[in-house]
Chains A and B, each alone.
Chain A
Amino acid sequence: MGEFATVERAGPLTLIQDSGRHGQRHLGVSPGGALDRHAAGWANRLLRNAPGDALLEITLGPFAMRFSHATTFSLAGAECNWRLDGRPVANWAAHRAESGSLLEAEVARSGVRSYLALAGGIQAEPVWGSRATTVGERIGGIAGRSLRSGDRLPYIAAAETLLAGVPREYIREYGGDIPLRLVPSNQFELFSSAHRQTLLSQAYRVSPLSDRMGVRLEGSPMTGLPGSMISEAVAPGAVQVPSNGQPIVLMADCQTIGGYPKIGHVYSVDLDLLAQARPGATVLFSLGTLEGAQQALRQQRRFFECETG
């Protein structure tokens, strides 16, 4: 009994996500969480959900889900021609679903990750304080795996509310070049000026081998690298350079410690755009500062955490 949405078409990788699982890194448990925090933040904000409420991260699509009871839902992120009972519904907006409504998404036209939030959040069982699914660790969501058709997602039927859309200036269009601002750090001194030049002067392409653990970049390789080092804790945003000279930008599902030298880390807020980059997309590094990175992140977090409902 109760209200639930039934997944009718799960797509290649649809995950229950939230703002991540913190406090267990020392045991080797990665934080995980929604990869594009801008889009996920807006999906929750449109419904006046709490910023940490669980929603769906749909990778590429297609996807289809049926509601058992009337409620409100919201969409943000990748463009995938959403339809509700056959009629087109706008991305970056909240909508009303009736009991029995079918919500469908096609394969994304631009971007990679689409966010679908339900009023009150998806009521999956939290694991160590979070509902985020880390598939590589088999933790969270539904049995630590991506959704399958037939899965039921419990939710709370919501009364009709004012339906809002994201203001135009916050709507993102994906498909352009991805700028990544780098804060030099960690093993930066181990890299020569030629290495730094290689990183900062060329256009990298996003490799098809990228995933939620890391975005691999392809370009003219750095040569004569320092090699591996003694392992230490790593965090999303870190830019590792393994011995093949091709950088990897760590993402939310990255392992908790690693032994590749890191030339620095990129602004956390820039990871939102990187999360929407398709294989072959162009990535351009520039130099930033820690103050700049922290200011941008603080602003984003304040916006989503302190100004809702």
Chain B
Amino acid sequence: MMRIADSSDESLTLYLSDDYDERTLARIARLTALVRREMGDRVTDVVPSYCSVTVFYDLLRSEYREVHRKLEECAEQVLLEPDEVEAAPQGRMVELPVYYGGEAAPDLERVAEFAGLTTGEVIDMHAAEEYRVYALGFRPGFAFMGKTPQPLRVPRLDSPRPRVPAGAVAIAGAQAAVYPDSCPGGWNLIGRCPETLFDRSSNPPRVLLAVGDRVRFVPVTRKKFEQLGGELDG
């Protein structure tokens, strides 16, 4: 059910539903766009996630009740829109090359064991799925994707690795991701992607993936991975 929470002194979170699916994702994407258009500089940040959109505002420049009312109106408008509109915006299709071998995939065998499959079958299954980007966060440019095929839904590690390399392709439960930077992380690593997911040299920062995008992982050889600029020592 739709509801609004005061998530901080200067932010409001609007929940569009209790669970996430393609339909909610489309609505979240449209609500985010509508809020940006309708609320303009009355909000400083608009952050979509799986089931919610959070707006941040500046107390000295925007009035709480006004932001609250406008956000509610935008959500009502989105919920009233007919189904054909809902089916329309499908996001971009992004193909991400992945090298699934050797030191790039320290958890691949364990995932295969968990799933009762060969490592080759795990790779095929991971690469056959079309994923959607449901949220961006945790780290700059970190895209939460779903949904990982049922047999591969391995829980996250009991204790996170102190360092996951940049480009690591990871799964945990129904979620999938590529780590944009090296950082600590508790997901299962099954490959490495040579693409830059978060470009810190550009202004504003550029991200490869946005909420609503569709993603496919394309298996490549180690040679191809390196030709594309990938480095395994990272």
Contact = CB atoms under 8 A, between A and B. Distances in A.
Interface of A: 22-29, 127-128, 136-139, 183, 185-186, 230-238, 255-258, 262, 265, 267-268, 290, 293-294, 297-298, 301-302, 305-306
A233 B13 contact: yes
Contacts of A128: 203-205
Contacts of B118: none
B226 interface: no
B6 A256 contact: no
B20 A29 contact: no
Contacts of A238: 7-8
A230 B16 CA distance: 13
6 contacts: A22-B56, A23-B44, A233-B54, A265-B6, A290-B9, A302-B60
Contact of B49 (A137, A236, A257): A257
Interface stretch (B82-90, B106-114, B121-129, B137-145): B137-145
Nearest to B32: A26
Contact of B59 (A183, A231, A262, A298): A298
Contact of B140 (A137, A230, A262, A294): A137
Contacts of B207: 27-28
Given A232-B54, A235-B10, A29 B5 contact: no
Given A28-B139, A137-B139, A257-B49, A297 B7 contact: no
A139 B205 CA distance: 11
A240 to B, nearest CB: 12
A238 B139 CA distance: 18
Nearest to B19: A230
Given A22-B44, A297-B10, 19 more contacts: A22-B45, A24-B140, A26-B136, A28-B141, A28-B142, A29-B205, A137-B140, A138-B200, A232-B15, A238-B8, A256-B47, A257-B136, A262-B7, A265-B7, A265-B8, A267-B9, A294-B59, A298-B60, A305-B60
B60 A233 contact: no
Sorted nearest first, the 7 A-B pairs with minimum C-beta distance are A257-B137, A233-B54, A235-B8, A233-B47, A25-B45, A256-B137, A28-B140
B11 interface: yes
B50 A28 contact: no
B9 A237 contact: yes
A257 B64 CA distance: 22
A209 to B, nearest CB: 13
A268 B136 contact: no
Contacts of B188: none
B139 A268 contact: no
B7 A234 contact: yes
A232 B60 contact: no
Interface in B36-65: 44-52, 54, 56, 59-60, 64
A185 B56 contact: no
A233 B137 contact: yes
A287 B137 CA distance: 30
Interface string B120-161: 000000000000000111111110100000000000000000
A231 B144 contact: yes
A298 B52 CA distance: 26
A197 B196 CA distance: 47
Contact of A25 (B5, B6, B56, B204): B56
A26 B47 contact: yes
Residue among B19, B136, B211 having the largest count of chain A Cβ atoms under 10 Å: B136
Contacts of B19: 230
Contacts of A186: 5, 7, 13
Nearest to B44: A22
